[in-house]
């Protein structure tokens, strides 16, 4: 009898434990399901499709977890929720619960007012910054808009730049050739006093730029002063191409030298370079100087296209080294150039500028004149986060045609020339000893 009671007691205890475990498991699953439901409610703006449910979710909030999951890898037990983004599976792991828990704990319980967009921006920025790579970064929608406007080379505006003079007046600094401002008659050094009838004499050039950029008006009326005479100029806002290639010619030793300055490698720079180079060649140049001083880079595809115009078929432009090995990018142009080429560089020549400089130096056999370049030997890729913001992350190393990695050392010039101090006091072509050295080299 004692034994039977004992067995019965053990069975009851085991039954009780199983019931308790079942209850805890149900509670845990309920908690997880609530979390999934909460995410599904929150993520409503972008086309990310959950396989289990035909619901739509925003990428902005989910990116907090998905970016972090890239750092943890895919070795964990995935049991949270599976989402498809552009045909790719994105998993949420139990290991990432604390990120969602923290976010919703703050959003649901914080006693004060919260800006959820700012909270998410800060979270993403923190995760991206923790990678420890200077070039891996996060940009909010405003910063992204400015970045894309710069690298795309086009924007909605009137086709001019403005600045401040010594008298704190807003002046026209540059008028883009054949742009709307140029066609309307705006001139460099015009003083802007009013914009659409509003007095701007106590405002700044940035105020003018912001107004024009964000204006809903199709036409912008500027009141300007020119030679002490007031004029009104109406300019139509339209899509404007930003010039990034500038040309001229020099003559020395009975030879004609073409000169092309590249300010940035935007998406339209290669076309501008091609047009300007064709004009120079029609003018029968004997040699070419390319100036990338203070050019911080731009699109890899753009510098590839430009180098391809100069190098001969089969010449190596650069090499890319990644997880799958090293691949060479070779020129495909059957009609490469055969005249002397020099490229001007300084410490602010970076990225795409360094790719072009090393290609001219090592594959073309040209001159690199100036000082060592910046030393950026990596390639970045961008990802749009759906609301105008983006992340930029390093994906590869690039190597010179000879296989050199110039990261943090830069491209070494064939002819090292520091800019004369006199140039800073009087910035003229005659005082630009780097330019003058390049002209001497290509005309000797």
Catalytic residues: 351, 376, 380
| Buried b or exposed e, range 255-294, using 16+ CB within 10 angstroms | bebbbbbbbbbbbbbbebbeebbeebeeeebbbbbbbbbb
Residues 6+ apart with CB under 8 A from 186: 158, 160, 172, 175, 222, 224, 233, 235
Question: Partners of 194 in the beta sheet?
Answer: 199, 223
Q: Are 329 and 304 in contact, with CB atoms under 8 Å apart?
A: yes
Phi–psi pair at 321, nearest 5 degrees: -115, 120
End-to-end CA distance of the chain: 116
Q: Are 186 and 212 in contact, with CB atoms under 8 Å apart?
A: no
Q: Cβ–Cβ contacts within 10 Å for residue 237, how many? A: 18
Q: CA–CA separation, 300 vs 321, rounded Å?
A: 14
Angle at 58 between CA 53 and CA 63, to 5 degrees: 105
Q: CA–CA separation, 178 vs 407, rounded Å?
A: 40
Residues 6+ apart with CB under 8 A from 438: 289, 342, 344, 367, 369
Phi–psi pair at 192, nearest 5 degrees: -90, 125
If you write DSSP's letter for every residue of 265-316 in order, what string do you get? B-TTHHHHHHHHHHHHHHTT-SEEEEE-TT---B-HHHHHHHHHHHSPTT-E
Q: Are 325 and 306 in contact, with CB atoms under 8 Å apart?
A: no
Q: Which two tokens stand for residue 375?
A: 């030393």
For residue 429, give the nearest of 344, 306, 341, 339 by alpha carbon: 344
Residues 6+ apart with CB under 8 A from 273: 245, 260, 262, 306, 309
Question: Partners of 222 in the beta sheet?
Answer: 195, 233
Phi–psi pair at 114, nearest 5 degrees: -130, 140
Strands 78-85 and 219-226, sheet pairing? unpaired
């Amino acid at each position: 009898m004692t034994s039977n009671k004992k067995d019965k007691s053990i069975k009851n205890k085991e039954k009780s434990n199983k019931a308790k475990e079942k209850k805890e498991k149900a509670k845990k699953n309920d908690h997880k399901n609530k979390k999934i439901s909460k995410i599904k409610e929150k993520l409503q703006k972008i086309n990310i499709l959950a396989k289990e449910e035909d619901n739509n979710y925003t990428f902005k909030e989910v990116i907090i977890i998905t970016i972090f999951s890239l750092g943890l890898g895919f070795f964990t037990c995935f049991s949270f929720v599976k989402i498809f983004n552009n045909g790719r599976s994105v998993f949420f792991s139990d290991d990432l619960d604390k990120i969602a828990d923290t976010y919703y704990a703050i959003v649901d319980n914080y006693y004060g007012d919260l800006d959820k967009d700012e909270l998410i921006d800060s979270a993403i920025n923190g995760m991206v910054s923790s990678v420890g790579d200077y070039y891996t970064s996060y940009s909010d929608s405003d910063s992204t808009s400015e970045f894309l406007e710069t690298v795309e080379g086009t924007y909605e505006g009137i086709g001019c730049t403005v600045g401040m003079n010594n008298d704190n007046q807003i002046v026209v600094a540059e008028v883009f050739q054949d742009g709307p401002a140029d066609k309307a008659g705006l001139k460099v050094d015009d003083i802007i006093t009013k914009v659409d009838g509003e007095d701007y004499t106590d405002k700044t050039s940035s105020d003018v730029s912001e107004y024009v950029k964000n204006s809903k008006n199709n036409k912008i009326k500027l009141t300007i002063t020119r030679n002490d005479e007031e004029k009104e100029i109406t300019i139509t806002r339209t899509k404007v191409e930003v010039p990034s290639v500038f040309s001229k010619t020099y003559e020395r030793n009975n030879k004609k030298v073409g000169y092309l300055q590249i300010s940035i490698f935007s998406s339209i720079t290669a076309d501008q370079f091609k047009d300007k180079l064709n004009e120079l060649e029609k003018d029968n140049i004997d040699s070419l100087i390319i100036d990338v001083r203070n050019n911080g880079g731009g699109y890899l595809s753009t510098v590839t296209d430009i180098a391809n115009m100069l190098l001969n078929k089969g010449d190596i432009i650069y090499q890319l080294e990644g997880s799958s090995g090293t691949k060479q990018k070779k020129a495909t142009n059957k009609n490469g150039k055969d005249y002397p080429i020099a490229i001007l560089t300084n410490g602010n020549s970076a990225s795409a500028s360094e790719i072009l400089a090393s290609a001219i130096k090592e594959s073309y056999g040209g001159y690199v004149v100036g000082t060592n370049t910046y030393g950026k030997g990596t390639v970045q890729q961008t990802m749009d986060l759906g609301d105008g913001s983006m992340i930029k992350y390093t994906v590869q190393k690039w190597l010179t045609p000879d296989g050199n990695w110039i990261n943090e050392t830069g491209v070494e010039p064939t002819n090292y020339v520091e800019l004369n101090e006199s140039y800073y006091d009087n910035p003229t072509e005659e005082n630009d000893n780097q330019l003058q050295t390049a002209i001497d080299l290509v005309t000797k």
